[in-house]
Amino acid sequence: MAEIAIIGGTGLSELDALEITHREVVATPYGEPSGPVTHGRLFGTEVVFMARHGHGHTIPPHQVNYRANIWALRNVGIRRVLSIAAVGGIRKDMHPGGVAIPDQIIDYTWGRQHTFYEGELRAVTHIDFTQPYCPELRQRLIKAADEAGIDVTRDGTYATTQGPRLESAAEIDKLEKDGADLVGMTGMPEAALARELGISYACCAVIANHAAGRGATDIHADIEAHLKSALDKAREIMGALLRQ
């Protein structure tokens, strides 16, 4: 049985190299996940794949049912999740076309179903989120990148904004003052929900563009020019991780 799942974000609604064995529709107490859980083998390892935005990329970041997705993965036995997420680069070394393995998160989202702890509770509900990403899985990812010969940025604070619009330049200035290095729309509540269910979770952030006000070109042109090459790097790192 697979113990690792890959949640694919923008640009990664399917994994070409995945030898699919079957797709499983999982009913959850939290409603419908973004799609069926796809079981298969990737580079010889059993994995599960989930397209965060749905198979045809139709679910915007603020409408992803993060609880259903994480619950469904846990329900099929998943213990580790590798999130692939497109982001904008704020810090100078976060170049479009590059990849970063963030180590911190700031959550600016609102109105999302962000916890499994609600209703009648019997246990302590305050998960420790000091290290929002699993340190061990992060180190494995960094090692995988080294093995694949891919230069990754080995840290970074990921600011999660609500979306679906991109940010204003002033908002990016504020995020930078807050200590953010990267900005994306899907990092939370996904990471916290995984922690609530005891799933080890780390993120391979694919830097698609300069954040608003930071680049010389239009953001969409930036994404068009750089998302694919960043995703190619993420795929190589994923391959090396699974071969470890």
| Residues engaged in binding ligand HPA (CB under 6 A) | 86-88, 161, 166-167, 183-185, 208-209, 211
205 has which bridge partners?
Answer: 85, 100
- Cβ proximity to ligand HPA: between 98 and 184 the closer is 184
Q: Tell me the closest approach of the beta carbon of residue 92 to ligand HPA, in angstroms.
A: 15
Can you give 148-163 as a three-state secondary structure string?
HCCCEECCCEEEECCC
- Cβ proximity to ligand HPA: between 26 and 188 the closer is 188
User: Contact, 158 vs 104, CB < 8 A?
Assistant: yes
Q: Could you list the residues known to form a binding site for substrate, using ranges.
A: 185, 209-211
Q: Tell me the closest approach of the beta carbon of residue 164 to ligand HPA, in angstroms.
A: 9
Q: Tell me the closest approach of the beta carbon of residue 218 to ligand HPA, in angstroms.
A: 12
- Cβ proximity to ligand HPA: between 180 and 199 the closer is 180
Candidates 222, 232, 191, 237; CA nearest to 89 is: 222
Structure tokens, 46: 């059993």
Q: Could you list the residues known to form a binding site, using ranges.
A: 10, 52-53, 185-186, 209-211
CB neighbours (10 Å) of residue 83? Answer: 24
- Cβ proximity to ligand HPA: between 40 and 97 the closer is 97
71 alpha carbon, distance to own chain's centre: 16
Q: Tell me the closest approach of the beta carbon of residue 209 to ligand HPA, in angstroms.
A: 5
SS3 of residue 145 by DSSP: helix
Taking the CA atoms of residue 79, residue 63, residue 160 and residue 99 in that order, the dihedral angle to the nearest 10 degrees is 60
- Cβ proximity to ligand HPA: between 4 and 219 the closer is 219
SS3 of residue 192 by DSSP: helix
Q: Tell me the closest approach of the beta carbon of residue 161 to ligand HPA, in angstroms.
A: 6
